[in-house]
Amino acid sequence: MAAQRPPITCHVLDTTTGRPASSIAVTLTLLKPYGPSTPLTATTNSDGRVTAWQHQGGGVQLQEIFDNAAEHAGEHAQMVWALKFDTAAYYGEGNTFWPEVELRFFVKPGEDHYHVPLLLGPWSYTTYRGS
């Protein structure tokens, strides 16, 4: 049986090559309402995607954090999450204007999935809410 998709996923495309950006270290942190949480970590796969998160020390998993925050924040409250991408390690020190890219976004309780693509170049980046 396939693993369940986490409630937050991301995807990085390198705009200089037009290809997926593999092996980028990524962290995911809950900032509000109960954060900042201990970051969850991942590395983009060969398709530039993060499909699973690890919690340092084997702590609470993303789905549990997601469910608990949504349950305790109230029906109309929003969570704020941050994705941080280690772009300096990907391009090499001095080869990019962005040593890291941090994206902060709202998550509404009751929505089951958020996909956050990052289109990345050494001198620019853009993002959007994917599906």
Estimate to the nearest angstrom the gap between the alpha carbon of 51 and the chain centroid: 10
Q: Which of 94, 86, 89 is nearest to 123 (CA)?
A: 94
22-65 tens-digit pLDDT: 999 999 998 988 777 889 999 999 999 999 998 876 666 777 77
The mean pLDDT value for 97-109 works out to 92
Residue 1 confidence (pLDDT) above 90: no
Whole-number percent of the chain with pLDDT over 90: 56
* Nearest-angstrom CA–CA distance, 10 and 12: 7
Predicted local confidence at residue 41, as pLDDT: 94
pTM above 0.85, yes or no: yes
